Amino acid sequence: MEAKPVFDLIRRHKVTHFCGAPVVHNMLINAPAEMRAGIDHKVSAMIAGAAPPQAVIEGMERIGVDLTHVYGLTEVYGPACVCAKHPEWDDLPGAKRAEFNGRQGVRYEMQEGMDVLDPKTMKPVARDGQTMGEIFFRGNITMKGYLKNPQATAEAFAGGWFHTGDLAVIDAHGYVKIKDRSKDIIISGGENISTIEVEDILYSHPQVLEAAVVARPDEKWGETPCAFVTLKVGAPPVTEQEIIAFCRGRLAHFKCPRKVIFGPLPKTSTGKIQKNVLREQARAS
């Protein structure tokens, strides 16, 4: 995956729209400015496949790309909700605008229902942007079930909604914000830690190109955050302790990584970071 062919094709064919995972957009942001030279038309993009760090949303705006955030799963016909923008957001400071655009948003018109519910009671959580629940979908563009797997289908639709497995909050305006995958949440000493929250901080470090956080077994706390970090090419060297200190200045200490491993991150063919591989590496470390 390289930035130059992308910019060359956008320039040559006057591409106006494209979509990609956050790692693809991050690659374009961190490419040399001369690669973007000569692109003088409006370019719009969709970002999906993982919850994008705020630094990526801000970065795409900085290089002149109009970014729209969408979210969904294969089981709900791909993108099923969108962070629908409001004109008044244009007058907000850049960081606040990126925060708003970082939400997964509201359902597509074709999707009958989307809500954040308590998975035990199946009741809506408080719309306060703080109370965590699970994202649920239902409607005629939601799948009928898993082929020849009635047990998995029954579990996925328990309570009459499709269970996404994504943990989120919902605000007073009905906008959903993912906090983590249920399988990715780190429980350390009884406290829940959102890997997405920690990754957001890591991506704001000036020398960090890519970051991912997973649980690492810990005898005392059960598990603690382990960060995998790729540094920008040509960036000054940074140590594990410097990364941890950077996080401690911006997060509650129990949320900060106890271990930082430097190097390239394993990805799928579409650019999604393979956290299952990183979990194995964290356990082995």
Q: What is the pTM of this model?
A: 0.84
Residues 6+ apart with CB under 8 A from 78: 72
Q: Residue 103, SS3?
A: coil
Q: Hey, what domains does the chain have and what are their CATH numbers?
A: 3-107 (3.40.50.980), 113-181 (2.30.38.10), 186-284 (3.30.300.30)
Query: Which pLDDT score is estimated for 183?
Result: 87
Query: Which pLDDT score is estimated for 271?
Result: 80
Rounded distance between C-alpha atoms, residue 100 and residue 96, angstroms: 6
- DSSP state at residue 84: -
The count of other CB atoms within 10 Å of the CB of residue 93 is: 8
Q: Residue 168, SS3?
A: strand
**Splitting the chain (285 residues) into consecutive groups of 10 residues, what average pLDDT does each group show?**
93 96 92 94 93 92 94 93 94 92 94 96 97 96 96 96 96 95 91 94 96 95 96 93 97 96 91 92 91
Query: Which pLDDT score is estimated for 254?
Result: 96
Rounded distance between C-alpha atoms, residue 116 and residue 134, angstroms: 5
Query: Which pLDDT score is estimated for 182?
Result: 86
